[in-house]
Amino acid sequence: MFKTLVNAFKMPDLRKKLLFTLFMLIVFQLGTVVPVPGIEKDALKSLLGIGDASGSLFNLVNILSGNAMQNASIFAMSITPYVNSSIIMQLLAVAIPALERLSKEGEEGRKVIAKWTRYGTVILAFIQAAGLYISLSNSGALELTGIIGFITITLSFTAGTAFLMWIGEQITEKGIGNGISVIIFAGIVTSGPQLIASFWVQLQTNWIIAVLTLILCLAVVVFVVMINDAERRIPVQYAKRVVGRKMYGGQNSHIPFKVSMAGVIPIIFASSILSFPATIARLFSTNQPAWISNFMTSPLYAILYFLLIIFFTFFYTAMMYNPIEMANNIKGNGGFIPGIRPGKPTSDYITKTMNKVTVIGSVAIALIAVLPILMSQGNISVSFGGTSLLILVGVAIETYRQLESQMIMRNYKGFLD
């Protein structure tokens, strides 16, 4: 990887892309310490339960935002409204035929959906900012109140999210990697010094547990890489056909089904539902009920978390992939799966294969997400989360492959030379 980066810096255009991405990430880091006027930072951190074991959803938002939430900065809500808006648009594209047709119209259709996603991001960001303002006002954590305070604070949070969305789009267009993913990656990496400090403290108190925890972290990273790269390929053979004076087809291809087709979306859905009681309690009361804290640290929470991840993996996969449509596309292009008849038998075979792959992927993702919770049940302190590891490894691999593909494209001389 380091050799690839060094070689990339030797190419002027790639060096320009890398430096542009780095500059945008520096702007993002600077924005995480720019405070929103009229908010008491310590009161906000205490109200939302950031840094404790309450299970509040704001802990996850704080990690993804690079500690911007606990700093009460303009980037406090991170890019989560954009992620939520994108997921909503994907689900609506499956449920609404007009949006489904629009998504299949190529580049122009994707531009329209991207525009609506931006509008949805701003609306969701304003709603979240308004809810956050109301909770802060009820707890007495605001120095600036009234209509002026409401406008200033809500618009500051909303503008911060919109600016982050713009930074992500600029990185995607002029930099390296997917901009939104790179921003989330940078936010998680920001907590690296804190993780190293906590590991150092643990190493001095109980070095055996610290070393075992480090080995386990490395093993989990290797496991995540394997799950991220694993895929099941269904072979497809295209029959030869004559169109005019030319012959088409006759080649072999395959349909790849990745083991982690849903990525971290099931984890986000499951954690959002399970942390909903704690989040509501934090918004409307400064004193969280004891039963919520007990539930968040109980084995029942880990079991429900595991089952919900599996359920949402199947749900999201079923919403995003249509075996009947895939079978019709294969048949329409003159292809067939060897040993399987076209039509319904093909769609049934694809469904059966996809379900098997989804079972493996959902269990693997659920184990990664639940592992830190299980270790905490044994009084073993861990400073990593399954969601963070999945995002870090996935974004790193995706960015590295994009960088490597661009280098191969530029080094390929072709037949003329």
CA distance 279 to 56: 5
Residues above pLDDT 90, as percent of the chain = 4
Determine the 3-state secondary structure of 385 from DSSP: coil
Q: What's residue 47's pLDDT?
A: 66
Indicate if the alpha-carbon torsion angle 14, 20, 24, 27 is positive or negative: positive
Contacts 24+ apart (CB under 8 A), 109-116: 113/89, 116/89
The model's confidence at residue 122, banded by pLDDT at 50, 70 and 90, is very high
Q: What's residue 158's pLDDT?
A: 92
Q: How many residues does the chain have?
A: 417
Residue 2 has pLDDT above 80, yes or no: no
The model's confidence at residue 415, banded by pLDDT at 50, 70 and 90, is very low
Q: What's residue 61's pLDDT?
A: 73
- Pull the structure tokens for residue 12: 């002027």
- Pull the structure tokens for residue 412: 């390929």
How many angstroms separate the Cα of 319 from the Cα of each of 71, 91, 263?
37, 7, 14
Indicate if the alpha-carbon torsion angle 213, 217, 218, 220 is positive or negative: positive
Average the pLDDT over 119-138 and give the result.
85
Q: What's residue 412's pLDDT?
A: 54
Residue in the structure block whose two tokens are 């999210």: 161
Tens of pLDDT, residues 360-384? 988 988 888 887 777 666 555 555 5
Tens of pLDDT, residues 148-169? 888 888 999 999 999 999 998 8
- Beta-ladder partners of 231: 258
- Pull the structure tokens for residue 77: 């809500």
How many CB atoms within 10 Å of residue 85? 21
Q: CA angle 323-255-85, nearest 5°? A: 65
Side-chain half-sphere of 83: how many Cα atoms within 13 Å?
17
Q: What is the pTM for the complete model shown?
A: 0.77
CA distance 181 to 391: 8
Tens of pLDDT, residues 57-101? 666 677 777 777 778 888 888 888 888 888 888 778 777 888 778
